[in-house]
Amino acid sequence: MSDQTDIPRDPGFRSRNPELVPQMLLRAMAGLALATLAITTFAVVTGRPPVAQPEAAAVLREKWIVLEGLSAQAVIVRNTDGSVLLDLPHGGFVTVIQSGLATERKKHRVDPLRPLRIVEYANGRLVAEDPDTGWSAELYAFGKDNKAAFERLLNQP
Q: Do residues 22 and 72 share a domain?
A: no
> Percentage of the chain with pLDDT > 70?
88
Is residue 8 predicted with pLDDT exceeding 70?
no
Distance CA 99, CA 93 (A): 10
pLDDT in tens, 68-83: 988 788 898 998 998 9
Q: Do residues 8 and 69 share a domain?
A: no
Is residue 34 predicted with pLDDT exceeding 70?
yes
Domain assignment present for residue 119? The answer is: yes
Is residue 5 predicted with pLDDT exceeding 80?
no
Q: Do residues 76 and 134 share a domain?
A: yes
Is residue 2 predicted with pLDDT exceeding 60?
no
Q: Give the pLDDT score at 14.
A: 60
Least confidently predicted of 7-16, 102-111, 131-140: 7-16
Domain assignment present for residue 33? The answer is: yes
Provide the domain limits for residue 17: 4-45
Domain assignment present for residue 53? The answer is: no
What integer best gives the mean pLDDT of the chain? 87
> Percentage of the chain with pLDDT > 90?
49
Is residue 138 predicted with pLDDT exceeding 60?
yes
Distance CA 144, CA 147 (A): 5
Q: Count how many domains the chain has.
A: 2
Q: Do residues 135 and 64 share a domain?
A: yes
What is the per-residue DSSP string for 27-69? HHHHHHHHHHHHHHHHHHHTTPPP-S-PPP--EEEEEEEEEEE
Domain assignment present for residue 15? The answer is: yes
Q: Give the pLDDT score at 90.
A: 85
Residue 142, C-beta contacts closer than 8 angstroms, at least 6 positions apart? 93
